[in-house]
Structure 1
Amino acid sequence: MKAVLKSRRSWLGKATGAGLGFLSGGPVGLVIGAVAGHLVDRVSDRSAAPGVVFRQDHIDGLFRLSGHLAKADGHISKEEIHEATRLMDKLRLEPSRRQQAIRFFNDGKAPLYRPDRDLYSLNASLSGLDKEVLLSLLLRLAYADKTLQPAEIRVLKRVCDVFGVSAIRYLWLKNRARVGYDWLSEPRILPETRFRLRRGKEGSAVQNAYSVLGLEPDVSDADLKITYRRRMSEFHPDKLHARGASVADINRAKEKAQTIQTAYNLLRKHRRGER
């Protein structure tokens, strides 16, 4: 898919956050949005995650769906504004495209907006893995204020229905979003031999490993193994080939499988050391 990678100036986060804030909360929202945008500006030098790119029409649909989801419970929180602004920053939208994204977000939160047109269009043009990335971005937005409301769950379930995402798969993606996993900043776990970290850094590596598997630290050893095996099976090249996945999708799946394997090895070693 065509990448959207444009340079941006340090004021873009503030302007975008203020725009979204004004749309959802008037003058007060403008101030909140500008503050959120300032936080985005502070991390604007970080590069976008490799391997996650969307065509322009995909991005348009994503922001309409984001506006619809954020408004589903009747109001848009400052955390949801911050998350939408963060997404624009990660996608590195140029000024004109950021303004369009704000407009599409606003279109999506309008009472007359119906998401099915965008959902069916995205379903026809995205690969299976890219649909999961898009669903995960929506889940992050829904969890921006730490809870899922019934209206938000209904929207997300409709996305799953159109995209053909199973209930089990949805629960797994939801759990990853809940613990803060970010597809646009996917942790690149190094080979296990590189995890000889100082005590002060070990906790971060272990937490990343749990996030990769979509699990909490208190998971049992048995459930850890079950999840690991299921995740490895999901990204098995033969299964993806049978589903008609592209070569690019299969290569990405191999990378994810390697990341899962390394995360599991790290957690097994970590848990043995705790006993």
Structure 2
Amino acid sequence: MSIWTRISDAIAALANGESLALVFEKLRTPPERSVAFTIAVIALSAKMAKADGLVTRDEVTAIREVFQIAREDEAGAARVFNLARQDVAGFEDYARKIRAMFGESGTCYCDLMEGLFHIAMADGTYHPAEDAFLQRVAEIFGLPEAEFRSLRSRFVPDAVPDPYTVLGVRPDMSLADIRAVWKRMIRESHPDAMIARGVPAEAVKLAEKRMVDLNRAWEEIQEARG
């Protein structure tokens, strides 16, 4: 059974007029978590689109890129997106439901935020409303400010990314300690680790850019320290 069939089944189980946010209360354990992850990214991206008041073709394409949506599954993805846009529940309610579902699994929130940043930057512009939206979502998820800055620096090209910010480390840390952080982040980015924490196989490609950014940051720090 494809993930999109499972998503359709989850949505169909909602009574007429019920909030899409209720889906997250029913999808707490694997393999249902991968369904919830997919719905979460698409639903929050729909709410984010309302935040800046514009849905572009680039953003829709970005959603397809994150999940490698086949042509026959586009209708299912569009239904999730439209349900979220029309839902009276606010994005903060969605974020709290997602936090309740995933608990203290911090790495999974980074995975989810990466999908949102990718979609936010699809049109080449990072709107102030999108920044405020993503900061608030990260706050509800319990992501430390350093992790949010790390994510932002890897996606938003408003300055040359600082390698220390990318890795979420301090410049006064020893090279050995920084290397330990880099190795942990690379380990957490392995496809098997991502799937184990609920990221659907369709979205594992999110880690490709992350791996490039992390390795570049580590190399820059090594070079700078001689």
| TM, length-normalised to structure 1 | 0.48
Residues 208-228 of structure 1: per-residue CA shift (max 9 Å, x gap): xx899775xxxxxx9598899
CA drift of 1:164 comes to 0.2
Q: Distance in 2 between matches of 1:147 and 1:213?
A: 24
Counterpart of 1:100 in structure 2 is 76
Counterpart of 2:57 in structure 1 is 78
Counterpart of 2:202 in structure 1 is none
CA drift of 1:172 comes to 0.7
Unaligned runs of 5+ in 2: 6-31, 189-195, 198-209
Structure 1 residue corresponding to 2:117, chosen from 131, 135, 139: 139
Q: Distance in 2 between matches of 1:271 and 1:214?
A: 16
Question: Which secondary structure state, in structure 1, belongs to the residue aligned with residue 66 of structure 2?
Answer: helix
Q: Distance in 2 between matches of 1:77 and 1:84?
A: 11
Counterpart of 2:152 in structure 1 is 174
Q: What are the residue-to-residue correspondences of 1:1-275 with 2, within 5 Å?
A: 4=3, 55-89=34-68, 92=69, 95-96=72-73, 98-110=74-86, 112-126=88-102, 127-178=105-156, 229=177, 232-233=180-181, 260=214, 264-265=218-219, 268=222
Which structure has more relative contact order (CA 8 Å, sep 6+)? It is 2
CA drift of 1:264 comes to 2.5
Q: Evaluate the alpha carbon distance shift between residue 95 and residue 3 of structure 1 in structure 2; reply closer, same or farther with a 3 A threshold.
A: closer
Counterpart of 2:9 in structure 1 is none
Q: Evaluate the alpha carbon distance shift between residue 55 and residue 94 of structure 1 in structure 2; reply closer, same or farther with a 3 A threshold.
A: farther
CA drift of 1:72 comes to 1.3
Q: How many residues align?
A: 173
Q: Evaluate the alpha carbon distance shift between residue 213 and residue 77 of structure 1 in structure 2; reply closer, same or farther with a 3 A threshold.
A: farther
Q: CA RMSD in A?
A: 4.5
Residues 19-40 of structure 1: per-residue CA shift (max 9 Å, x gap): xxxxxxxxxxxxxxxxxxxxxx
- Aligned AA (1:65): L
Q: Evaluate the alpha carbon distance shift between residue 168 and residue 3 of structure 1 in structure 2; reply closer, same or farther with a 3 A threshold.
A: farther
Q: Evaluate the alpha carbon distance shift between residue 3 and residue 226 of structure 1 in structure 2; reply closer, same or farther with a 3 A threshold.
A: farther
Q: Evaluate the alpha carbon distance shift between residue 226 and residue 84 of structure 1 in structure 2; reply closer, same or farther with a 3 A threshold.
A: farther
Q: Evaluate the alpha carbon distance shift between residue 3 and residue 229 of structure 1 in structure 2; reply closer, same or farther with a 3 A threshold.
A: farther
Contact 2:126 2:156 in 1 (8 A): no
Contact 1:5 1:93 in 2 (8 A): no
Q: Distance in 1 between matches of 2:125 and 2:174?
A: 27
Q: Distance in 2 between matches of 1:151 and 1:61?
A: 19
Residues 37-94 of structure 1: per-residue CA shift (max 9 Å, x gap): xxxxxxxxxxxxxxxx9521221222111111123111112221221222231xx568
Contact 1:66 1:141 in 2 (8 A): yes
Contact 2:182 2:214 in 1 (8 A): no
Q: Distance in 2 between matches of 1:176 and 1:227?
A: 21
Q: Distance in 2 between matches of 1:69 and 1:226?
A: 39
Q: Distance in 2 between matches of 1:111 and 1:5?
A: 20
